[in-house]
Amino acid sequence: MDLVYSAALLGLATVFSVVVLLGARRPVEPAWAAEWLVANVWCVAITALIGFGVSFAVCFALSLKSQPIGLMEIALIAGVASAYYLILRLMAPRRRLAEYASRLAESTGGDREPSTAEIIQLALPVGDGRSPDKPTLPKAA
């Protein structure tokens, strides 16, 4: 059963990392995908899921001689893997990332590469009297 837990946790980490990637790359960034949340919360959670998934796989490998893998475990692993595969296919990360890149190219003027300042300006939230046309970064002293 440890191998099933391992597959479930590693699949969850994969889906979770794609969700965070799509949220962070979105042209209008949601509040839960702020840079500090991605760096301090979501990356730590994804790393913990990967660590627990690998530890369950190691536990399975160590107990393989005493408890061989059964048909039920193979069926559960196949079910878990196919469910996560379908979830990732339905999320369509490649298409969404390409769409986000084309929106960014349209908003920055077409064929040229956007500058770092333009990318930062697009990533800043709009609100509190700010507009996306005016930079909201404080000037250096």
Q: Are the C-beta atoms of 14 and 94 separated by less than 8 Å?
A: no
Q: Angle at which helices 2-25 and 43-62 pack, to 10 degrees?
A: 160
Tell me how far the alpha carbon of residue 37 is from its chain's centroid: 12
Chain position carrying tokens 């005016």? 134
Using a cut of 0.85, tell me whether the model's pTM lies above it: no
List the chain domain ranges: 2-92
pLDDT digits (tens, 9 = 90+) for 73-108: 899 999 999 999 999 999 888 888 888 888 877 776
pLDDT tens-place string over residues 7-32: 999 999 999 999 999 988 888 888 88
